[in-house]
Amino acid sequence: MKIELGGRRALVSGSTQGIGYAIAEALARCGAHVVVNGRGAESTEAAAARLRDELPGADVRGVAADLGTAEGAETMREAVPELDILVNNLGIFGARPVLEVDDDEWRRYFEVNVLSAVRLIRLYLPGMMERGWGRVTAIASDSAIVTPVEMVHYGMTKTALLAVTRGYAKAAAGTGVTVNSVLAGPTHTAGVETYVADLVGGEVPWDEAQRRFMREHRPYSLLQRLIEPEEIAHMVAYLSSELASATTGGALRVDGGYVDAIIP
């Protein structure tokens, strides 16, 4: 199966590292013109330069903008007026007892994890619909369905993201544009390494920390290991292609079997 995205213009929000970076790399490998995004100009350009080094000839550029704000979304629109592929990957997470999460933290998580996606879809979906082709994918989480007790505020935003993308898929019905979510399971990123260390103890060697985390905090994973970012990226590349033309309004699982259900 060959995924060909030559000539397609793609933006991956929050893509200077982790899952977002892996998605940007996968889309660039398939021939897309890729925009890498982060909040800081230096880190954003460094990520774009790294991709160009890894993939000689790839069309990759960086656009720095804080997409958790309305101003940042407008900055992106000015820099990138039209898109064919939008991947809403930007997100924040962290463990905190739910009774300690104050109003400002609830709002911050909703702004970054949900409204960033809403704003970008609102900006770019109409153009996709007019041109008769487009792909919108949101990176959700198993936490959207299995609410983690240590991250209720995070899980809430991912549940909302499923509803948002399903609703926009309905708005785009019959236009040639697809809108989907990807339910990513526990994934090995630098941020997750820190998160795991906070839960199981920073003095524990990484291999043992990972095993303890999966055993004690994610025991229903059928993989029984953390997912690698590239494994999420493979699904996004497929959804971004012509091959996924009949898949829309869905929540596709790359969760390692963590969600204990036959369908989402």
Give catalytic residue positions: 154
- Give yes or no for a contact between 200 and 209, defined as CB atoms under 8 angstroms apart: yes
Q: What are phi and psi of 154, to 5 degrees?
A: -70, -50
| DSSP character string of 241-262 | SGGGTT--S-EEEESTT-S-SS
Question: H-helix or E-strand containing 98?
Answer: none
Q: What are phi and psi of 87, to 5 degrees?
A: -115, 110
Cα dist. 19→73, 160, 183, 221, 228 in Å?
20, 20, 12, 19, 8
Question: H-helix or E-strand containing 19?
Answer: helix 18-29
Place of tokens 């958790």: 68
Place of tokens 């021939």: 31
- Give yes or no for a contact between 180 and 245, defined as CB atoms under 8 angstroms apart: no
